[in-house]
Amino acid sequence: MVASLILLLTACETKNSDPPKKDKVCISDTLRKMIRIDTVKTTNIDDELVLSGEIGFDENKVVKVFPFSSGQVLEVKVSLGDKVNQGQVLAEIRSAEIVGNYSDLSSAERDESIAKRQMDNEESLFKNGIASEKEYTEAKLNFEKASALVNKIKDQIAINGRGNTSANGTYVIKAPRDGYIVEKKINPGSYIRQDNTDNLFTISDLKNVWVWANVYEIDISKIKLGYTAKVNTLAYPDKTFTGEVDKISDVLDPQTKVMRIRINLPNTTGLLKPEMFANVKVMNKEGRKAVSIPSSALVFSNSKNFVVIYKGDCDLRIQEVSVLKNINEVSYISSGLQLGDKVISENQILLYNALIE
């Protein structure tokens, strides 16, 4: 390293008549090809708020599938995470209620047929003057009641969907939309009670997901709707997913004293899954400005930050600076630099070491 430094750095000669003094450090033609010079400029201060969160469903694109009747699960045809198409059979269930419905329908249809014959007979007798109008009217009302009962039972059966049930009591649960099975709460052999209010499956297309993140009270003023959010997960630490804040809670959780925010995140690749832990960085530009330089220009030494200021190939000096914050490879400087100063931001450590010797 010493040999390289001697080759890269040249020193201006001093006259023999002058008293001994430290040689100037200059940038040689070889070293110039290895450094980069950046100009100090004024920019808006980017702020970055780091939060923890969890990935969840986009509840606007979720369908929960409930059972229509009690019964025993005969077969489940899908597993958690499976992609399903609208109309695809998810499960088959055997239900005594369905058997009862078909039995009631058969009995009601027989009564309807009898009432129809009686009405037709009374109508014929009435037209021939043998039966009274009252008798014919009563027979007609009985037929209408029987027909209404048949239609009622058919409607009850139709609630499960046309073609989804059979007279032996078997009915099928079908997917109401395309998507992925993100919740599955039944297995073959399990029994669905009549008072069951829980869903059997949850289907989501997962093309978008929501990230719920917690914001502490001290940081609430730093969050606004529309701010950009960058999300990383434990499963894909090298991938960054970008979304935006689209909902901010109006109240704080009384127990944890945090405010929840929601980030709408595109998930076209399908990599993000509900319940994943997420690291969230919310980005925004504050109204104030500050002088800024590339973070690579900083030299950290003795618990302080320094830069090498360039004014000419043989006019270099070390300057201590105070760093306001570092965000996205940009350092915002509160003191030590002026607008228009030039700093060396690549291989400046060679020059720094030479200047302090």
pLDDT tens, per residue, the chain with 357 residues: 444 443 444 444 334 444 444 567 888 888 888 999 999 998 877 677 889 999 988 888 888 998 878 888 999 999 988 889 998 999 998 887 777 878 888 888 899 999 999 999 988 888 888 878 888 889 899 999 999 999 988 887 777 655 576 777 788 888 988 888 988 999 998 888 877 778 899 998 888 899 999 999 888 888 888 888 999 998 898 899 999 999 999 888 888 889 999 999 999 888 888 889 999 998 876 667 888 999 999 999 989 999 999 999 899 999 999 998 887 788 989 999 999 999 999 999 989 998 887
- Residue with the two structure tokens 């037929």: 143
Residue 206 has a pLDDT of 84
Residue 296 has a pLDDT of 93
Domains 49-59+206-287 and 60-95+169-204 share a fold: no
For the entire predicted model, the pTM comes to: 0.54
How many Å is the Cα radius of gyration of the chain? 39
DSSP structural state of residue 23:
P
- CATH of region 2-45+288-356: 2.40.420.20
Q: Are 162 and 80 in contact (CB under 8 A)?
A: no
Residue 142 has a pLDDT of 92
- CATH of region 97-158: 1.10.287
Pairing of strands 315-327, 330-335: antiparallel
Residue 48 has a pLDDT of 77
What's at 234, amino acid-wise? Answer: L
Residue 319 has a pLDDT of 94
- Residue with the two structure tokens 């090298």: 238
H-type alpha helices, the chain? 2-8, 29-32, 96-127, 133-158, 348-356
- CATH of region 60-95+169-204: 2.40.50.100
Which among 68, 119, 112, 113 has a CA at the least distance from the CA of 93?
A: 68
Q: Check if CATH label 2.40.30.170 holds for domain 49-59+206-287.
A: yes
Of the CA atoms within 13 Å of residue 275, those in its CB half-sphere come to 3
- For the chain, give every domain's residue range: 2-45+288-356, 49-59+206-287, 60-95+169-204, 97-158
Q: How far is residue 249 CA from its own chain's centroid?
A: 17
Pairing of strands 89-94, 71-76: antiparallel
